[in-house]
Amino acid sequence: MTYDLAETSTAEGRPYFLYLFAEGASVWRFTSRASAWISPAGAIGDETEDLVWEPSAVSHSSVVQSSDPRRVDLSVTFPLSDPFARSYLGPRGRSVTTLTIFRGHEQVPAEVVAHWKGRIVSARVEGRRITLRAESLFTSMRREGVRAKYQRLCRHALYSRGCRLDIETFFVGGTAIARSGLEITVPEAALLPDGWFRGGVLRHTGLLGFITGHVGDRLTLAGRMPELETAIDDLETVAVIDMAPGCDLRRDTCAAKFGNLLNFGGFPDIPGRNPFGGTSIV
C-alpha cells in the first residue's frame, strides 16, 4: 500500500502527525500518537538515520488555504505542564523557531508528506493549555516590509535583531532566597544600582521571565514562574537564576550601559514640533 492509497481509502487510513520544531542547531520532535514513532531513514528529507518522535498531547488547528496571508495562521496546543511549550511564555530574544508538520499513515511508515510549514510567533495560556501561534512560511514572504519608526526612543526591542546585543554576554548569576507574590529576593541584585534589571530578563532552568522592577535585592516579575517558586520554597534546593539588565530605550543608556550606540534605533534630536505642519512630534 502507498500513502496515496491510504489517504484516499474510506476505511484503511490510519493518519498521524509529526511535529518538527527547529531553532538553530536545536531540534524537537513530537508525534500525536500515544506512543513514540520511528521514521525510517529517508522517509523525511535526506535523513540517513531513523528519527525518533516523542509522544505528546499536541494538536493543531485546521490548515487554511487563502490568498489573504493574515488568515492562514495555525494554532498548536500543548498541555499547560509541557516544558517545551512553557519555554515560549517568556522573552525569546532573537531566536526564531520553525515548525514543520508532517502527515503520514501508520501502515506506510516510509512515506510522509509535509503538511504545513511556518514559524512560531507567539504563545499564550488558555485555561489548562498553552497555545503557540504560528504563521505560514508564505505569510512572511508576502508581508510588506517594516519601516523604521520615527521616534525619540529606540525602536528596537532589547536583545532583538535590531538591537544586536547577545543576551548571553549580559547574564549575571544569582540565587533567589525568598519570594512574596511576584517579588523575589536575590542578594546579588543589590550589588548593582536600583533599576539596573528593570525591563530585563530573569532565567531559571531555561525558562525566561520579564523583570518589571528592581529595588535593592528585590526583583519584581511580570508573571508567575511556578518552577522558580517551587525551587525557592524547597529548603533543600538552591534556586539558581541568571539576570540580564533592562533598558529604558534612551540614547544615553544605550551608550553608557551597553556600549551599543551604533545600533541605537531612535531619533532623539527630532524637533518638538513639526516644522511643516506645526503639530507635535512624539
Residue 188: pLDDT over 70: yes
30 CB-near residues (< 8 Å, 6+ apart): 18, 19, 21, 53, 54, 55, 56, 58, 84
The share of the chain scoring above pLDDT 90, in percent, equals 51
State the average pLDDT over residues 203-217: 93
pTM > 0.85: yes or no: no
Instruction: Tell me what pLDDT residue 141 has.
Output: 56
35 to 15, 54, 126: CA distances (angstroms): 14, 7, 26
pLDDT (average), residues 58-87: 81
Concatenate the DSSP letters of all residues of the chain into one string.
--HHHHHH-SSS--EEEEEEEEETTEEEEEESSSS-EEEPTTSSTT--S-EEEEE---EE------SSGGG--EEEEEETT-HHHHTTSS--TT---EEEEEEEETT-TT-EEEEEEEEEEEEEEETTEEEEEEEEHHHHHHSPPPPPP--SS--SPTTSTTT---GGGT-EEEEE-EEETTEEE-GGGGGS-TTTTTT-EEEETTEEEEEEEEETTEEEESS--HHHHHHHH-TTS-EEEEEE------HHHHHHHH--GGG----TTS-SB-TTT--B--
Cα–Cα distance measured from residue 113 to residue 227, given in angstroms and rounded to the nearest whole number: 38
Q: pLDDT tens, 77-105?
A: 999 989 999 888 876 666 789 999 999 88
Strands 51-55 and 26-31: parallel
**Closest to 23 measured CA to CA, from 109, 103, 132, 108:** 132
For 102-125, the pLDDT digits (tens) are: 998 888 878 888 888 889 988 999
Judge whether residue 48 has pLDDT over 70.
yes
Domains of the chain, with CATH numbers? 3-142 (no CATH), 171-244 (2.40.30)
**Mean local confidence (pLDDT), 174-203:** 95
Task: With a cut of 60, say whether residue 135 has pLDDT above it.
Answer: yes
For residue 10, pLDDT beyond 70: no
